[in-house]
Amino acid sequence: MWKEIYLHKTIDFETGLEGSDATLLMVLFKSYTMWSHDRLEFLKMLMGVIDKIELVEPDYVDTLKTACKYGITFYDAIYVQIAIDHSDTLVTEDKKLRKKICKDIDVLSVNEIL
């Protein structure tokens, strides 16, 4: 959906928001399939180390708005939106992402918090 709105400009933002639930589920499925087996194993290990992890689900309409506002992927926008929703600092090594969002969101690199 984000690609059609932002990159290809085949539909406008409002039309994208009116998309069917099936379309939204397809977009979300593509986002979640980016996780490789190694990343899942890392998360399992991390969960064994950290006492408490709060799992949250972003507002997907707001996430789509965030993706379009900053010109970032839906996948990146999920993390940005969660940081916005929870007034948290986003930690990322993605310099391009940091540059796009740093005016509105607190963002740090790992080295800056160590």
Q: Is there a contact between 110 and 104 (Cβ–Cβ < 8 Å)?
A: no
pLDDT tens-digit series, residues 75-114: 999 999 999 998 988 888 899 999 999 999 999 887 786 6
The per-residue pLDDT for 23 is: 46
- Domain locations along the chain: 2-88
pLDDT tens-digit series, residues 45-55: 656 656 555 67
Model confidence at 16: pLDDT above 90: no
The per-residue pLDDT for 95 is: 93
What secondary structure does DSSP assign to 10-48, as a single string? -S-HHHHHT--HHHHHHHHHHHHTT--HHHHHHHHHHHH
The per-residue pLDDT for 57 is: 84
pLDDT tens-digit series, residues 17-41: 665 444 444 444 444 444 555 556 6
